[in-house]
Structure 1
Amino acid sequence: MWALNMGMLLGERHTQEGMPVEFVTPYYGGNQNLAAQKGLFSHWISPRLSFADLAQSVGKGPEEIEIVERICLKEKIVGTYERQKRKVTHNLIKEFQMPSSEAPALRRLLCESGYTTSRVFPSYNGVVDQMLNDPTD
């Protein structure tokens, strides 16, 4: 699980060096799962490919073209600071790890707080899953 200091990162975007990250709250209309989860997405702003880069990719197979960069946001943030010769002096992003043996207790705590399967997945299947697997019984 990750905790992110969104305010600090948004402030970093407006410094001279800049931090190319945006936070997007999706439009919830028409997607009951997104509306129930109230999610927030982070988006790392990458430079657009030039025409020359696109032209070089013509004729290559999909396995040769990197479409999605799969790098953890923490690595992107720290890497940006390092390239700018700056030190991270505050907690921008924090990882919390817990043993899988604690998962049932965490699920019970979330359910008691109102975050149930039927809330996160407000469909027939979500309600049925909650009825069959309710950890508060």
Structure 2
Amino acid sequence: MEKTKIEDLPWRERQIVEVIYRLGEATAAQIQAELSEEISNSAIRAMLARLEDKGVLTHREEAQRYIYQAVEEKEVVADSALKKLVGVFFDNSPANAATALLGMADKLSAKDIDQLQSLIDKAKKEGR
């Protein structure tokens, strides 16, 4: 079975995966506590089982509890999601996305500005 991409999950399953990425790993009870809407523990457990079947999550057993973690590294998923976001909302233009992100920042530190300038210089040098 081919692994499901996180961005293709139904919204509730995606919420659960986002909680796990935020926490690093989590039990069903921890996930339930993190969600803003009321959802039963049995519903969460059913979705966790589906997410395992889809190849998105895995678990280990510890002290008679299942602890869930994501199969894909957070950075890999973030890169994929960001590419999709830039494609859909910014016409595949990283410059447009960066402009929007910079517009959201109230104040950038000197370190942030230096890091951004370094990345721009590197891209320019590489002809990107």
TM above 0.5, yes or no, is no
Specify which structure has the higher proportion of helix. Answer: 2
- Mark the structure with the bigger radius of gyration: 1
What TM-score do you get using the length of structure 1 for normalisation? 0.28
What TM-score do you get using the length of structure 2 for normalisation? 0.29
